[in-house]
Amino acid sequence: MRAFVYHQPKTVAEAVRLLAQRDTLAIAGGQDLLGAMKDGLLEPAHLVNLKSLPGMREIRETGSGLQIGVLVTLTEIAEHPVIRRDYTCLAEAAEAVATPQIRNVGTIGGNLCQRPRCWYFRDPHVNCLKKGGDQCYAVRGDNRYHAIISPGPCYIVHPSDCAPALLALGASVTIAGARGTRNVALRNFFQMPDKNLRGENVLQPGEVITQITVPKPKAGTRSVYVKVREKDSFDWALVSAAVVLQVSGGVCRAASVVLGGVAPVPYESAEAGKALVGKAVNQQTAAAAGKAATTNATPLEMNGYKVPMLEAVVKRAVLAAAGLTG
């Protein structure tokens, strides 16, 4: 690991000023960053510790929803009674991340901004497209864990569990930077590789997320996060889905289906949502939503299994959100 200067700002303004320096990265829980630094993937000259900032580790209920400080840990989210009750998919997603040790330290902000786990990207000796090289090794290589929905030219999957849940709940993030703060809906936060090859989101150098705002779900809303992984202790999603359903009078009024593990971004499946709105949720419509979620899937050589798995995961999540079982 390259030696670095460690900064402990006391205010967001100071943090933002520090982050505007060259070769500078923010650190919160450090669960992703330290691994990347030890592997030689990232070599910042300066680290700005966000944990020294006040007031960013709170979950506040407001009349219109939740405000989650960016330093709130995944354990705090998973255990929060209001999140568990009203924003269930977020609690379930936080609980599905990594291990208890990592969840105790890892923050919600870090979870949203973590870098992809693609083994070509993570290997410091492989100069892949995303790192400025001339090819995506996953295209002709071992792509068993890669994207089945991507415009190319890169086929990473977004590793976050919480991102699909927050996106499905309609959350937005507050971003602080040298030129002030801005609010960005999560829907517009993540970027496909054809728009942003080197990064995964709209954050500019020197910018940090300070807060996540989640609107209060409408009456009759229930949500679920389903994650399939090869092992249950500490593994990434092969496929996951966050489903938020608003049902009244036995009819689905609104549906948001966001997929994890299948695309370079948490992928909102408009097709799956459409398959549910205006219909009664039952085995047939849930299966139809599962089928619809695979509409844009074009698997690579080794990840075709993710298509039927995605179909099943979405079906199950829809049924569970409707209080039914598969």
Partner 1 sequence: MPQQRTKRIKTTITVNGETQEVEIEVPDIEAAWGDPANMRWLGKRIPRVDGADKVTGRAKYTYDIQLPGMLYAKILRSPYPHARIRSIDASEAEKLPGVKAVITDLTREVNYVGEEVAAVAAVSEEIARDALKRIKVDYEPLPFVVDPETAREPSAPRVTQQGNVRGGNPQERGDVDSALSRSDVVVHEATYSVPPRSHCCLEPHGLVCQWQGDKLIAWASTQGIFSVRDELAGALGIPQGNVRVICEHMGGGFGSKFGAGVEGVLCARLAKMANAPVKLMLEREEEQLASGYGPGVTAKVKIAATRDGQLIAWDSETHGTGGLWGSASVPLPYIYPVANVRTRHFDISTNIGASAALRAPGHPQASFIMESAMDDLAHKLGIDPLEFRLKNDPNRVRQAEYRLGAERIGWQRRNRVAGEGRGTVRRGLGMASAVWGGGGGAGSRPTVRIAPDGSVEVRLGTQDLGTGTRTYVAAIVAEELGLDVKQVKALIGDTDYGYSGASGGSTTAASVAPAVKMAAMGAKERLLAAVSQRLQANPANIVLADGKVIARNGVERSLTWKQACALLGKEGIEVQGEWNPNLQGSGVAGCQFAEVEVDTETGKVRVVKIVAVQDCGLVINQLAVESQVYGGVIQGLAMALHEQRLYDEQTGRMLNPNLEEYKLPGSLDMPEIDVVLYDNPTGRVSGVGEPPVIPTAAAIGNAVFNAIGKRVHSLPITPAKVLEALGKV
User: What is d(CA 278, CA 34) in angstroms, rounded to the nearest whole number?
Assistant: 47
User: What is d(CA 252, CA 322) in angstroms, rounded to the nearest whole number?
Assistant: 9
Closest to partner 1 by CB, 228 vs 276, is 228
Contact positions with partner 1 (CB under 8 A) in 236-295 = 238
Contact positions with partner 1 (CB under 8 A) in 116-145 = 117, 119-120, 123, 125-126, 137, 140-142, 144-145
Q: How far is the CB of 231 from partner 1 (least distance, A)?
A: 5
Closest to partner 1 by CB, 229 vs 253, is 229
| Listed ranges 112-120, 190-198, 252-260, 268-276: which one lies at the site for partner 1 (CB under 8 A) | 112-120
| Listed ranges 4-12, 195-203, 223-231, 241-249: which one lies at the site for partner 1 (CB under 8 A) | 223-231
Q: How far is the CB of 116 from partner 1 (least distance, A)?
A: 12
User: What is d(CA 67, CA 153) in angstroms, rounded to the nearest whole number?
Assistant: 36
Find, among 213, 224, 164, the residue nearest to 190 by Cα. Answer: 164
CA 107 to chain centre: 12
Q: How far is the CB of 250 from partner 1 (least distance, A)?
A: 25
Q: How far is the CB of 166 from partner 1 (least distance, A)?
A: 24
Closest to partner 1 by CB, 169 vs 319, is 319
Total of chain residues touching partner 1, rule CB under 8 A:
36
User: What is d(CA 29, CA 177) in angstroms, rounded to the nearest whole number?
Assistant: 20
Contacts of 62 (CB under 8 A, 6+ apart): none
Neighbours of 252 (CB within 10 A): 23
Contact positions with partner 1 (CB under 8 A) in 291-320 = 302-305, 307-309, 311-313, 315-316
Q: How far is the CB of 5 from partner 1 (least distance, A)?
A: 15
* Alpha-carbon distance values, 88 to 162, 208, 223, 256, 281 (Å): 11, 26, 6, 14, 19
Answer for which of 1, 251, 280, 324 binds partner 1 (CB under 8 A) is 1
Contact positions with partner 1 (CB under 8 A) in 3-22 = 3
Six-digit token string for 137: 């090794």
What residues form DSSP beta bridges with 318? none
Q: How far is the CB of 125 from partner 1 (least distance, A)?
A: 5
Strand (E) or helix (H) holding 38 = helix 33-38
CA neighbours closer than 13 Å in the CB half-sphere of residue 55:
6
| Listed ranges 82-90, 101-109, 210-218, 226-234: which one lies at the site for partner 1 (CB under 8 A) | 226-234
Degrees, nearest 5: CA angle 181-184-188: 150
CB 162 within 8 A of CB 149: no
The residues of the shown chain that bind partner 1, judged by CB under 8 A, are: 1, 3, 99, 117, 119-120, 123, 125-126, 137, 140-142, 144-145, 228, 230-235, 238, 302-305, 307-309, 311-313, 315-316, 326
